[in-house]
Homo-oligomer: A and B are copies of this chain.
């Protein structure tokens, strides 16, 4: 992924840090300790492992190893950088000097050893204040997401033309990777999935040497990364003469996806979107064959809030990005999944992965 000092302006980070301060205030936190690569990318524009950040209501510190110090310095702005010192000692010093009492950390974003060190220093596990901020995308983020989604939709059309008897799953993965690369985006959004024949019944199939035969389904679950933002799209194709059972299952999944999308609008919830898809599939008799969530938010992470799953209370707001991806899997036989990435608009939704 490209460093992004060029992609984002200093203004962008200033605004994001202001938003963060407001949320910290609302949560009665004096500061928050960030360790997640994506959170730190959002707050600094530098996408790398191995550095941490403490963002207080007054300012921001980055903690780095001596080795990383130059890179952190060159790729971030407006942060004080502490390099090559013991994290616990540095935290203690800042805490005392700035009289920070309540400092939170995200218990899912750091390991038990580091978490234990932080707890000893008086920090506490607390809900990540960036969750709500990152879920609503800014204009520049939407530009990246839009571009990633459009290229992915194009790649789906392209790869359809490459279906032929004998081609392997891995070969098609490579073709897709080359396609993104040719268009200037070398990073896929995740390990691409190509599944053929009965492999389509496995939602998380790992592509291998299976070869395409006539009259078999193929699933492509694909995406690329633009400016650090990802796209997510799934298409199920049938190579040859469609069987009646495939046609029926495909129709159910398509109807379920439409039903889910019909619930996407400001004020709706992830739970409501999920329920709409699930109802259609259950009514068709395939309820037990829909073994995953209906969708998820997409952004710097491929899976992020809002969560589109049973009972998810996440309330949709304009400019949130989410997927709708119901599926039906008949073990040992075949599966169908259809997925698009959507933007929540003022009144409903916009499909970003339209080709």
Contacts and interface: CB of A to CB of B under 8 A. Distances in A.
Interface in A131-180: 170, 173-174, 177-178
Given A107-B111, A186-B170, A203 B116 contact: no
Contact of A3 (B66, B177, B206): B206
A318 interface: no
Contacts of A116: 107, 112, 115, 125
A24 B48 CA distance: 36
A71 B204 contact: yes
Interface residues of A, number: 37
A2 interface: yes
Interface string A87-118: 00000000000000000010111111111100
Contact of A70 (B109, B112, B202, B208): B202
Given A2-B208, A3-B206, A174-B181, A108 B111 contact: yes
A67 to B, nearest CB: 5
- Copies of this chain, complex-wide, total 2
A111 B118 CA distance: 13
A79 interface: no
A292 interface: yes
A287 interface: no
A181 B175 CA distance: 11
Interface in A1-39: 1-3
A242 interface: no
Contacts of A205: 71
Given A67-B291, A67-B292, 20 more contacts: A1-B206, A2-B208, A3-B208, A48-B204, A48-B206, A70-B331, A71-B204, A107-B111, A107-B116, A108-B113, A109-B111, A110-B111, A111-B112, A112-B116, A115-B115, A115-B116, A116-B125, A173-B186, A174-B181, A174-B186
